[in-house]
Structures are given as structure tokens and as C-alpha cells.
Amino acid sequence: MEILKIKGGARLNGTVKAAGAKNAMTKLLVASLLSDKKCTFYNVPNIGDVEVTVSLCQEIGMKVNWDREAGCMEVVTPELKTAYVPQRFSGSNRIPILMIGALLGRTDQDIIVPTVGGCAIGSRTVDFHIDALRKLGASIEYREMKREGAYFAHAHNGLKGTIIHLPYPSIGATENTILASVTARGMTVIKNAATEPEIIELILFLQKLGANIFYDVDRTICIQGTRRFYEVEHTVIPDRIEAASWGMAAIASKGKVFVEGAQHYNMITFLNKIREVGGGFDIKSNGIEFFYDGPLQGGLHLETDVHPGFMTDWQQPFVVLLTQASGSSVIHETVYENRFGYTEVLGSMGADITLFRQCLGGKECRFNAQSFCHSIIVKGATPLTGKEIKIPDLRAGFAYVMAALLGSGESTISGLHFLDRGYENLAGKLQNLGAEASRIKLEKNSSPTFEEIQKPSIPMVAEAQLA
């Protein structure tokens, strides 16, 4: 077991590089399974979710050469060894369900994937995925197995393009539908699709791979089916969530941090809110510099939304930022119904946060008149104190790290496997920015945790295997 110890009070100063986007790289790996051609990726993040996805893809036949230090990965899947994703990947992340869309056009076997996983931040139904894939001609059913359920899918008669209207612009459902449509006969039109930067990244990669694909301004994505593919070289976009995380930590700590690789275009909505609360930023040619620009002012109203709205994964550290702003601010979460569970720990550290079941905002919300606490009021500025903390999910994890940086005294943070899923070398980056932070491995005197048992090993693959 490892813990992160942080002594609060330091101002973050210096330069930090945003790693490649977790939510892009994991999906690109799955997309490469569509063909038997070599794909070379640059700016690959050395994080847990990529490790798990690599292991998953290797299980079904992918050959991988990953230079972690250089951030370069070569992959090729000449043939599928199996279309069965083992149950040990159940709950590891959200990637297994995307295997259905990627493999339907590549095999006549039954594709078997375990139930979905990820962070416990609310319901993530796969109904949208399944309904869309069925409209393309796939046969999908859920069956109970020995330990947990699994989805069985096949398309023995092939997939056929059609018009699909998603009830909600779900990122995962959009990705799954795109992947299946690439090898479907004819044209597929996806209406009300998600258009996040990571979706556009997937579209760009697939176009390089050989797909005839484009998107329109009204959330419409069109894919003309193909079976002709090419080798690809692709540089992964920087992670806009990590970039924003460092920006908020810099401002809240009254410091100045240049985030190399942060992209202005993909952070417009976030930057508007930073300016609204009184934080400073300066757009450079190769990144964004964030800095404290005087006392922070609350009185902010913020509603999370699908892109181009304010990203739900920016919300948690932004709440910590608001604890340092004078006045009351309102946040209305419209993407996930259970995303404010982390605020209880912030309250025990000194934050003044009140939860509401009502929609505190004008945006249409799926959780209206339900029993979910999906709105909060944050009152600041409040001093925070260090605490022993256990991380419940990835984005709450960075919020706790940020709170520990601001708090008086020392904080001890466990559950680091959540942070490792999305943040590369977090402790090292904190130290380089001047934080008093250290990652400590404790003596192992107990049985392994569930996460340690579930975490698959990633065998290194020789370069010769890619020939």
C-alpha cells in the first residue's frame, strides 16, 4: 500500500507538462483493433487506465511495444486470438464495453465482455450503446455468469449503416457507435452525438486509419463504411483535465504555474470561469500560464454540461478553488447524479458546502424532481486543515490533493490507485512545483486489496513482434 503525504501551505510555482489525454489514448487503442495495420502513438500517458487497456487489448491479440520514458507506443493486431474479455477486467474501467463496437466488424465469433466499471460517480447505463449497436444489426444480450454478468454480441450477417438518434449525447455511446459504423455497409448517421475534443481526436485517428468520417455543427457524425485500412502515426492531444487541475491548484495556492501543452481551444469554457472568479491566465504558443491575480471572488453560478459546456471532471477541483473565494457560489451538476459525495471530506477539512436535491440552475436537467443531491452552495473564503483522507474516485482524488496543498498541517492520502488512473507521476510533478509532497510505500502486513488483485500485469512486448 502506498500513501501520499502533503504538507500544506506551499505556493506552486514552475512548469509542468500535461500528459497525453487519458480519455483519448484509451479509446484510440481500442480503435486500432479495427484493422491489422501498425499504429504508432506519441505523447502516450504512463497511467493506470492505459496500462489496463493495453493489457485488455493484448488479451485478444494486440502486440505492443511501449517506450514509457519516450511516451511512444507501437501496436498491431494481425489477428484476434479471442473475442472473450476475461471477467478480471470487470469493473477495471469503461473500456471493455467499447470492445463490442470495435470487434463486431472484425470477427464472426461471439464477443463477450464483462460489465462496465470506472469510478462510482453515478449511473452509467449502457442502454444507449446497446440500442445503437442493435440498430446497426448487432445481436446483443446480457447473461449472468459465475461471478458477474457479461454482454454477448455478434453480427453474423454483418452491420448495416442507418440513422441513429442518441437520447443523450453520451460520450461512450457515441464512441461505440462510431467504432461499429466504420466497418458497417453503407452510411451511418449519428444524431445528437457527443462532440468532446476526445471524440474529435477519435475521428481524426479513424480518418487516418481509412474511415470516411466527418461531423457537423448540429451534433451529427456521418461514417461511410470501409474495409480498407492504412498504417497510422498519431500524436495524442494533451489532457485538458490535467491541465485544468494544475491551473486551479496554482491559482488557489497563490502561485504561478505554466502548463506546457494546455490547449486554449479545448478549454474556453473553463478559462471563462477562471476569469469570472478572479484567477489569472496567459495564453502562450505552447501552453497556458495560470497565476494568482489578487483575492478570488465568489458569487459564481456554474452548471456542468456536455461539451462545449463546463466539463463535469473540472467540477471537483473548482469546488476547492471556490472554498478560497469570498462569497457564495452555486454549482449544478447535470451530467452525473452522484458526483458530490466527495464534499463531505472537504467539509471535515473546513469547507462550507451545502448539498441540495433541487436543480439550482436554469439548465434542463435529467435529475429534476429526483432524490439525488446534485446541486451545492459553496461559501468562502474558508481556511482548510490537513486530514487523513481515502480517495473514492479519480477526480475527487485531485480535489483532495488540492485541498491538502491549501490546508494547514499535514494530510495523508490513500487510495492512490485512483489517482494513478489519470495522473502521470503526480508526486514528482508536485515536488517540481515546490510542494512538500512525498509518496511512501508502507510495509505490507495484510492481505492484498481488491484493487491490487484486480490490477492486471502488463507484459512488455519485444519490438520484433511488431515486424
In the chain, the number of structural domains is 2
Query: In this predicted structure, what is the pLDDT of residue 91?
Result: 61
Query: In this predicted structure, what is the pLDDT of residue 445?
Result: 56
* Same domain, yes or no: 7 and 106: no
Query: Average pLDDT over the chain, rounded to whole?
Result: 91
Task: Indicate whether 458 belongs to any domain.
Answer: no
* Same domain, yes or no: 291 and 402: yes
Tell me the CA distances in angstroms from 46 to 133, 201, 269, one per residue in order: 32, 19, 27
Report the range of poorest mean pLDDT among 117-121, 123-127, 353-357, 401-405: 117-121
Residue 119 has pLDDT above 80, yes or no: no
Q: Give 116 or 359, the one with higher predicted confidence.
A: 359
Residue 449 has pLDDT above 80, yes or no: no
* Same domain, yes or no: 30 and 65: yes
pLDDT in tens, 181-210: 999 999 999 999 999 999 999 999 999 999
Ligand-binding annotation for 313, yes or no, is yes
Rounded to a whole number, what is the distance in angstroms from the first to the last CA of the chain? 39
Residue 418 has pLDDT above 70, yes or no: yes
* Same domain, yes or no: 58 and 128: yes
Phi and psi based region of residue 9 (left: phi greater than 0; alpha: psi -120 to 50; beta: remaining) = left
Q: Give the model's confidence band at 144: pLDDT under 50 very low, under 70 low, under 90 confident, else very high.
A: confident
Average pLDDT rounded to a whole number, residues 17-35: 98
pLDDT in tens, 392-417: 999 899 999 999 999 999 999 999 99
Could you tell me the three cell numbers for 417?
490507485
How do strand 327-332 and strand 301-303 relate by DSSP bridges? parallel
Query: Residues of the chain with pLDDT > 90: what percent?
Result: 82
Report the range of poorest mean pLDDT among 91-95, 405-409, 415-419, 420-424: 91-95
Active site residues: 119
Is residue 386 within 8 Å of 404, Cβ to Cβ? yes
Task: Indicate whether 28 belongs to any domain.
Answer: yes
* Same domain, yes or no: 169 and 272: no
* Same domain, yes or no: 111 and 194: yes
Task: Indicate whether 164 belongs to any domain.
Answer: yes
Neighbours of 1 (CB within 10 A): 17
Write the DSSP symbol of residue 326.
B
Ligand-binding annotation for 135, yes or no, is no
pLDDT in tens, 296-311: 999 999 999 999 999 9
pLDDT in tens, 249-300: 999 999 999 999 999 999 999 999 999 999 999 999 999 999 999 999 999 9
Query: Which residues, 6 or more positions from 448, have their beta carbon under 8 angstroms from its beta carbon?
Result: none
* Same domain, yes or no: 118 and 264: no
Is residue 168 within 8 Å of 135, Cβ to Cβ? no
Could you tell me the three cell numbers for 382?
474558508
Q: Give the model's confidence band at 453: pLDDT under 50 very low, under 70 low, under 90 confident, else very high.
A: very low
Ligand-binding annotation for 366, yes or no, is no
Average pLDDT rounded to a whole number, residues 123-152: 85
Write the DSSP symbol of residue 399.
H
Task: Indicate whether 263 belongs to any domain.
Answer: yes
Q: Give the model's confidence band at 114: pLDDT under 50 very low, under 70 low, under 90 confident, else very high.
A: confident
Residue 118 has pLDDT above 60, yes or no: no
Tell me the CA distances in angstroms from 435 to 11, 76, 233, 252, 287, one per residue in order: 7, 41, 37, 13, 21
In which domain, by residue range, is 259 found?
2-18+238-441
List the beta bridge partners of residue 66. Answer: 73
Q: Could you tell me which of 399, 310, 447, 425 has the C-alpha nearest to residue 119?
A: 399
* Same domain, yes or no: 259 and 399: yes
Q: Could you tell me which of 62, 60, 147 has the C-alpha nearest to residue 96?
A: 60
Could you tell me the three cell numbers for 264?
486554449
Q: For residues 385 and 397, what is the distance between their CA atoms, to the nearest angstrom? A: 16
Write the DSSP symbol of residue 386.
-
Domain boundary among 214, 235, 256: 235
* Same domain, yes or no: 248 and 154: no
Query: In this predicted structure, what is the pLDDT of residue 461?
Result: 35
Residue 8 has pLDDT above 80, yes or no: yes
Average pLDDT rounded to a whole number, residues 33-54: 97
Residue 447 has pLDDT above 60, yes or no: no
Q: Give the model's confidence band at 431: pLDDT under 50 very low, under 70 low, under 90 confident, else very high.
A: very high
Residue 431, Cβ density class (10 Å: 0-12 exposed, 13-18 middle, ≥19 buried): middle
CATH number of the domain encompassing residue 149: 3.65.10.10
Q: For residues 334 and 341, what is the distance between their CA atoms, to the nearest angstrom? A: 15
Ligand-binding annotation for 335, yes or no, is yes
Per-residue burial over 288-308, b if 16 or more Cβ lie within 10 Å, else e, is: bbbbbeeebbbebebbbbbbe
Q: Give the model's confidence band at 465: pLDDT under 50 very low, under 70 low, under 90 confident, else very high.
A: very low
Write the DSSP symbol of residue 105.
T
pTM of the model: 0.91
Q: For residues 206 and 208, what is the distance between their CA atoms, to the nearest angstrom? A: 5
Task: Indicate whether 455 belongs to any domain.
Answer: no
Is residue 208 within 8 Å of 218, Cβ to Cβ? no
Domain boundary among 235, 256, 272: 235
Chain centre to alpha carbon of residue 282 = 25
Domain boundary among 235, 267, 283: 235
Ligand-binding annotation for 147, yes or no, is no
Chain centre to alpha carbon of residue 89 = 17
Q: Give the model's confidence band at 148: pLDDT under 50 very low, under 70 low, under 90 confident, else very high.
A: confident
Task: Indicate whether 465 belongs to any domain.
Answer: no
Is residue 255 within 8 Å of 13, Cβ to Cβ? yes
* Same domain, yes or no: 295 and 356: yes
* Same domain, yes or no: 300 and 342: yes
Task: Indicate whether 457 belongs to any domain.
Answer: no
**Radius of gyration of the chain measured on its C-alpha atoms:** 22
Is residue 340 within 8 Å of 355, Cβ to Cβ? yes
Task: Indicate whether 446 belongs to any domain.
Answer: no
pLDDT in tens, 356-390: 999 999 888 988 888 899 999 999 999 999 999 99
* Same domain, yes or no: 276 and 293: yes
